[in-house]
């Protein structure tokens, strides 16, 4: 597919000196225009007089009509005559839409038929015209549809309803040849509209009330059935309630309190029993425990025992331990101890009896509590179904209550007018006619129109002696425009972006560095067009291709790259297999091309060569040292081309329009610029080239013409 390129030299086609003279601006010759108008003053005057005569004739013959207006306030928020709830506020746009709908109601057949009947318009010659001449000749004297329909249609034509912006005020205008009749019809329309609204609302309330009433008995039966289901369910599941609470729940609460108290008593009795038994086992401090202290007998015995012990101590100290009196006292003390022990034993028996009684009572309460607890669990399961039935019954009651209240309200509203509509101002007798317009205004308009028509006739149709010089002048302008190189636009939509002189690459690069040079200004137009047409994100890429056999594509591509490289990073891809674009610069040729980057043999940065004089980045599509040891696919080239997107401007230079790679690169780039000879560019050649090369016509931004000689 690719062959080793051969180097060719760059030929200098010309010295590059050229100039483009600006086209002279067209000047308006007011003196000549005035001269033409003055010569045609008779035509202008006659046209003005003819228009004035027609205006006078129109005012005299046209029937005079008068317009009467009445204003109606249509408030979308109705009056609240029944119910205490406040009416919800409507959104502003929704309220305006509702009022706008009422504007259409004002001109509806229902309202206007009331007016026709009230004013007898079906017998008014102004509203019911006689049959046409053709109908009379055919023997059909009756009006199609009847006189009422004819009057209704004529009334619709004469009634105009409008609403001021952002207001609820509606104005009704009625036009008639009789001003008094216009006033009567306007006021009758307002009254008919109010009556129609009252009837419509009453009918709507009656319809709703009847519909609700027909549903009340059904809803009442539904409530009764739901309540009966609740009561039957309670009876089947023994769900008895008192004060809003199940009896089993109340019993369970009371039993729980009793069981807690019984457990407390059992614990207290057990504590007292253990204390007495501890005293019995220890034999210390007989009677020294709370129960003994509360017993009067033990207290009295302990008092006597204390007194005996005191006497024993005194007698022992005075008489000795073996004295008979001391021994007698000791016998008394021993008897008191046995009496105290006996009382303690009786207290222990009483404590044990009390403990066993409390324990038995606790066990009985616990058994009863367990039974009630199981009953409560069963009732809880049954309550699930009961609550579901109660919810259904409550929902039925709520619906029935709502329907009942609403039925009563709508029944009352049938006889109550709740519309918030009133007539702001009744129609007054019009002082001026509405048609035709005032005579002075008609005359002035006719005179201005006639004068304008006469002026147009004079200017559009100049004298015959002036036409030949005008044609000669027009032909001279076209020849001058062609000589000055004005930008034509072909039918294909390919504009001429720039016109360049005959020059070589060296001159083009030097001229691109001078912003004031004509060459740089022309190339700047191409650059600005590409930037302006870059619609998608990312940096632009452009294909510069020669549209004929001219070899100036390399010059245009390098000049455009040099212009961009002054402020940005520009990359030139030499897609010509002969590498004539790279040969035009005195740079060291690289040993790799874009195909080496595509197959992964080299990186893009290693394959690019930089021209130090112009700061242009260069890379060949196929280098002489590029190896084709495997097949290269289009997807590989596309991925390699996407790597070049990091440059601000990518230029693909292609000089051989017959190269098959041209169509491939045309599909990758964003823009296409054609390079053609100035003396050979026309729309036919451009069309043939775009079709033959298979280019995307939507990407062709224009053509750069080269080889323009100095003027």
Report whether 589 contacts 623 (CB < 8 A). Answer: yes
Q: Looking at residue 188, what is its pLDDT?
A: 92
Q: Are residues 49 and 157 in the same domain?
A: no
In a domain, 192, yes or no: yes
Chain Cα centroid distance, residue 521: 47
Q: Are residues 77 and 51 in the same domain?
A: no
Q: Are residues 643 and 681 in the same domain?
A: yes
Q: Are residues 131 and 251 in the same domain?
A: no
In a domain, 237, yes or no: no
Q: Residue 509 maps to which CATH number? A: 3.40.50.300
In a domain, 17, yes or no: no
Token pair for residue 260?
């807690």
Residue with the two structure tokens 């034999």: 283
Cβ atoms within 10 Å, residue 469: 9
Q: Are residues 603 and 697 in the same domain?
A: yes
The Cα–Cα gap between 663 and 654 comes to: 10
Report whether 479 contacts 711 (CB < 8 A). Answer: no
The Cα–Cα gap between 400 and 408 comes to: 12
Q: Are residues 283 and 385 in the same domain?
A: yes
pTM equals 0.39
Q: Are residues 519 and 620 in the same domain?
A: yes
Q: Looking at residue 357, what is its pLDDT?
A: 83
Pairing mode, if any, of strands 570-574 and 671-677?
unpaired
Q: Looking at residue 620, what is its pLDDT?
A: 86
Q: Are residues 466 and 496 in the same domain?
A: no
In a domain, 699, yes or no: yes
Q: Are residues 540 and 454 in the same domain?
A: no
Residue with the two structure tokens 């207006």: 69
Taking alpha carbons only, the member of 177, 170, 171, 123 closest to residue 150 is 123
Residue-range definition of the domain harbouring residue 623? 484-708
Q: Looking at residue 487, what is its pLDDT?
A: 43
Burial class (CB in 10 A: 0-12, 13-18, 19+), 564: buried
Token pair for residue 539?
């940096």
Q: Residue 142 maps to which CATH number? A: 3.30.70.1130
In a domain, 530, yes or no: yes
- Runs of H (alpha helix) within 414-460: 439-460
Token pair for residue 63?
């029937």
Report whether 396 contacts 223 (CB < 8 A). Answer: yes
Indicate the number of domains in the chain. Answer: 4
Mean per-residue pLDDT pooled into runs of 10, the chain (711 residues)? 34 34 49 77 88 86 86 76 50 75 86 90 82 50 68 89 84 90 90 86 77 78 82 71 62 78 82 72 56 64 76 78 79 78 75 81 80 70 74 84 79 65 85 82 88 85 46 36 41 72 79 81 86 77 81 84 88 80 72 85 87 86 74 85 89 74 84 83 73 78 77 35
Cβ atoms within 10 Å, residue 479: 9
Report the C-alpha dihedral over residues 25, 30, 36, 42, rounded to 10 degrees. 150
Q: Are residues 504 and 604 in the same domain?
A: yes
Taking alpha carbons only, the member of 585, 546, 503 closest to residue 693 is 546
In a domain, 14, yes or no: no
Q: Looking at residue 448, what is its pLDDT?
A: 92
Q: Are residues 463 and 528 in the same domain?
A: no
- The interaxial angle of helices 147-158 and 109-119, nearest 10 deg, is 110
Taking alpha carbons only, the member of 534, 589, 531, 580 closest to residue 557 is 580
In a domain, 525, yes or no: yes
Phi-psi region of 485 (alpha: psi -120 to 50; beta: other; left: phi over 0): left
Q: Looking at residue 17, what is its pLDDT?
A: 37
Q: Are residues 82 and 43 in the same domain?
A: no
Compute φ and ψ for 600, nearest 5 degrees. Answer: 80, 10
Compute φ and ψ for 493, nearest 5 degrees. Answer: 85, 15
Q: Looking at residue 707, what is its pLDDT?
A: 77
**Which run of H or of E encompasses 619?**
strand 616-620
In a domain, 224, yes or no: no
Token pair for residue 167?
């207001």
């Amino acid at each position: 597919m690719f062959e080793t390129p051969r180097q060719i030299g760059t030929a200098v086609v010309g010295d590059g000196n050229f100039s483009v003279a600006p086209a002279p601006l067209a000047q308006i010759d007011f003196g000549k225009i005035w001269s033409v108008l003055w010569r045609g003053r008779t035509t202008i005057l006659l046209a003005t007089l003819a228009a004035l005569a027609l205006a006078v004739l129109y005012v005299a013959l046209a029937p005079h009509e008068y317009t009467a207006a009445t204003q109606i306030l249509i408030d979308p928020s109705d009056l609240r005559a029944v119910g205490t709830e406040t009416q919800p506020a409507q959104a502003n746009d929704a309220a305006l839409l509702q009022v706008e709908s009422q504007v259409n109601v004002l001109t509806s057949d229902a309202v206007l038929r009331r007016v026709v009947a009230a004013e007898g318009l079906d017998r008014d010659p102004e509203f019911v015209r006689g049959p046409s001449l053709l109908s009379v000749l055919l023997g059909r004297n009756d009006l199609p549809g009847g006189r009422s329909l004819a009057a209704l249609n004529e009334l619709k034509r004469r009634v105009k309803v409008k609403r001021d912006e952002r207001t609820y005020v509606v104005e009704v205008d009625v036009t008639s040849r009789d001003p008094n009749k216009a006033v009567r019809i306007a006021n009758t329309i307002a009254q008919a509209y109010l009556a129609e609204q009252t009837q419509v609302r009453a009918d709507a309330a009656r319809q709703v009330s009847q519909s609700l009433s027909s549903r009340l008995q059904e809803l009442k039966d539904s409530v009764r059935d739901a309540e009966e289901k609740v009561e039957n369910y309670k009876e089947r599941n023994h769900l008895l309630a008192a004060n809003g609470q199940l009896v089993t729940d109340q019993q369970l609460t009371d039993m729980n309190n009793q069981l807690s108290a019984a457990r407390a008593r059992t614990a207290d009795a057990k504590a007292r029993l253990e204390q007495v038994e501890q005293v019995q086992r220890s034999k210390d401090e007989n009677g020294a425990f709370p129960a003994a202290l509360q017993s009067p007998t033990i207290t009295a015995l302990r008092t006597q025992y204390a007194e005996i012990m005191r006497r024993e101590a005194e007698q022992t100290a005075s008489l000795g331990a073996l004295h008979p009196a001391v021994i007698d006292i000791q016998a008394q003390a021993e008897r008191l101890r046995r009496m105290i022990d006996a009382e303690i034993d009786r207290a222990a028996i009483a404590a044990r009896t009390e403990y066993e009684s409390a324990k038995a009572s606790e066990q009985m309460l616990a058994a009863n509590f367990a039974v009630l607890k199981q009953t409560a669990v069963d009732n809880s399961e049954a309550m699930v179904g009961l609550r579901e039935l109660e919810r259904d019954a409550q929902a039925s009651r709520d619906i029935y209550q709502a329907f009942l209240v609403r039925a009563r309200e709508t029944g009352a509203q049938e006889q109550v007018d709740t519309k918030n509509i009133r007539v702001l101002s009744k129609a007054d007798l019009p002082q001026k006619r509405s048609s035709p317009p005032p005579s002075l205004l008609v005359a002035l308009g006719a005179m201005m129109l006639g004068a304008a028509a006469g002026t147009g006739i004079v200017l559009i149709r100049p004298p015959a002696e002036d036409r030949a010089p005008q044609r000669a002048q027009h032909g001279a302008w076209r020849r001058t425009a062609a000589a000055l190189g004005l930008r034509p636009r072909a039918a294909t939509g390919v504009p001429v972006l720039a016109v360049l002189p005959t020059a070589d690459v060296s001159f083009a690069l030097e001229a691109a560095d001078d912003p004031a040079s004509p060459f740089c200004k022309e190339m700047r137009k191409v650059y600005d067009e590409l930037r302006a047409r870059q619609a998608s994100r990312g940096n632009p890429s452009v294909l510069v291709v020669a549209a004929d056999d001219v070899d100036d594509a390399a010059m245009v591509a390098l000049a455009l790259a040099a212009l961009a490289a002054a402020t940005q990073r520009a990359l030139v891809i030499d897609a010509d297999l002969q590498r004539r674009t790279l040969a035009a610069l005195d740079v060291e040729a690289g040993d790799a091309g874009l195909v080496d980057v595509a197959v992964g043999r080299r990186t893009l940065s290693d394959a690019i060569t930089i021209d130090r004089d112009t700061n242009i980045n260069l890379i060949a599509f196929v280098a002489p040292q590029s190896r084709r040891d495997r097949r290269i696919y289009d997807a590989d080239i596309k991925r390699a081309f996407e790597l070049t997107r990091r440059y601000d401007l990518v230029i693909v230079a292609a000089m051989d329009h017959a190269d098959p790679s041209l169509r491939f690169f045309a599909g990758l780039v964003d823009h296409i610029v054609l390079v053609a000879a100035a003396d050979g560019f026309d729309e036919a050649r451009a069309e043939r080239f775009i079709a033959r090369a298979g280019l995307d016509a939507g990407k062709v931004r224009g053509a750069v013409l080269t080889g323009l000689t100095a003027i």
